[in-house]
Structure formats: C-alpha cells, structure tokens
Structure 1
Amino acid sequence: MREAIEEKQITEGLLSPISKQEARMKNPLVLAYIGDTVYDLFVRTSRVKASGEHVNLLNRWVCGVVNARAQAEAADKLLPMLLEDEADIYRRGRNAKSATTPKNMDIGDYHKATGLEAVVGYLFLVGEYGRLHEIFEAILPESEA
C-alpha cells in the first residue's frame, strides 16, 4: 500500500513530468539550473553504487567529473547522439547569455557545460528517464555507468 501511495505522489505530484512544449518554453538557463542538480545526482549515485569509498574520496572523484571541463568533454562525446529536440535545447543552453562569468575556467567549456546541463534538465522535466540513463551511460566512465 505504501509503495502505491509513494509512486502516485511522484507521478502526480511535485516530481511529475511536464509537457515537452512547456519545457521548451523554459529559459535555457532555467533548464541548466535543474540539469546541474540532476547531473550531480546521477554522477554521485553512480559512484556510490560502484564503490565503497569514504565520503571525501567520493567527493574528490565527483568534483573531477562534475565541472565545466569534464562536462564540456562529455558534451562533445554526446553531440552526435542527440536527437533533434535535444540538440536544439543544447544549442539554446550553450548560447544563453548568463549574468555571471565563470572564474578559473574556459568560457567555451562553461558554455558547452551549460548546454549539456540544459539537455539534462529538459529530459528530467519531461520525464524522459530512460533517455537520461542512455546519456549517462554514454558519458560516464565505463566502470561508473
């Protein structure tokens, strides 16, 4: 009984998907905002499942994967496999004008990372969890996916 209630709360509640049209109407920086969190969650979850490391070692590894340079490399790897709507979201995110500029990182990497995060945010909001899984399998180190 409890499982059914929890599943219903997820599918009809706060985390329920929105339409693709509604998601496309969101500012790409808003998509990247939620995508950043989802990206971090996927990476952390995959590492926790794959290892028995202590928290500080887990965090050190995650910081090496969840940063603009690593995300830009992931975006380059991912670009050929993006579907048309995902590629459009990526371009919008990459080309979005942010009010802040990153410190200690390449601006090109930052823009690519923002594009990738926008795609992740879009897929999460529309409930394309299977597609998110495919993307993370493609970009995470093989031992982590």
Structure 2
Amino acid sequence: MEIGMTETVDLKETKEMNPLLLAYLGDAIYELFIRYHLVKRSDIRPKEVHDEAIRFVAAPAQARGVRAVEEQLTDEEWEVLKRGRNAKSGGVPKSAKPSEYRYATGLETLVAHWYLTGQTERLTEMMKRMIQVLEEGEDNGE
C-alpha cells in the first residue's frame, strides 16, 4: 500500500520536529495501513474491522511488531525510534506496560519519519513485516 503524498521533508526537518507530534502523525499512518490490510482481506466482516484493528494498533502489539524488526533498522532509523521512545509523554494507557507504550511511541515516530521523508517503499516493507509477525503471533496464541 502506498499513501499519496505531495511533499516530503528532509532528515534535518524531522530531527527538528517534536517527536510526540511525529508519533501523533505516525499513529494515524500506522492505523491506516492496518485498516487497509484488514479491509482487503476477504475473511473479515465490516463490523469486525474495528475489533481486529485494535489488536494491531494497541501499544503491546506495536511494541511486539517493532521489536520483531529492530535488527533490520538502520542507525538513522534507530535514532528516530529512540527519540520517540524517550520522549516524555502524558500517562500510559492501562492496557500497556510503560516499556510497551514507549516502544509504540518510538514506532509511531519512525513511521511518520518514513512517511514524511518519502521513504514509502521502506515504510511499506516494514509495515508488511510487522503485520506478518503480529498475525503469526495471533496464530500462536500471543
């Protein structure tokens, strides 16, 4: 899936952005990928999409997904992820451990970075891999 975009920013610009604002944008992009993935599946009913999506977009799932691909991240990507992971945010949802929530925020920051810098192939590749890992985890009872 490729999300349409009219303008990109350079790495310097994303480094100067507030990581929590990047995470806010990345959260929406991540959820769009998940919704698209679920909608294109033929085995899901429209009323089930929301419930299915929650299993992918909740902080524990995002943390599992990013940990599964962390060895494939470049040094630059790790830097972006760490900026988001270490950003001071408000409270942590009851459904997540603080470490899971921080990793999820780091992932969302990285997703926005890929999107804003025009790295749509990398974004798509990594999202596909994370979705695959999360679906395999569901099959294994995780």
Question: What TM-score bracket applies, with the shorter chain setting the length?
Answer: 0.7 to 0.9
Q: TM-score if structure 2 supplies the norm length?
A: 0.85
Q: Which of residues 71, 78, 99 in structure 2 aligns to 1:108?
A: 99
Aligned length: 131
Report SS of the residue matched to 1:51: coil
**Which amino acid letter does the alignment assign opposite residue 71 of structure 1?**
Q
Distance 2:109 2:134 in 1: 25
CA drift at 1:53: 2.5
Q: Is the 8 A contact 2:61 2:134 kept in 1?
A: no
CA 1:68 to 1:142, structure 2 compared with 1: closer, same or farther past 3 Å? closer
CA 1:111 to 1:143, structure 2 compared with 1: closer, same or farther past 3 Å? closer
Q: Is the 8 A contact 1:48 1:58 kept in 2?
A: yes
CA RMSD of aligned residues (A): 1.8
Q: Say which one has the larger Rg.
A: 1
Q: Which of residues 120, 130, 139 in structure 1 aligns to 2:111?
A: 120
Distance 1:34 1:51 in 2: 28
CA 1:103 to 1:142, structure 2 compared with 1: closer, same or farther past 3 Å? closer
Structure 1: where are the runs of 5+ without partners? 1-6
Distance 1:91 1:73 in 2: 16
Distance 1:67 1:143 in 2: 11
Percent sequence identity is 34
**Which amino acid letter does the alignment assign opposite residue 51 of structure 1?**
S
**Which amino acid letter does the alignment assign opposite residue 42 of structure 2?**
S
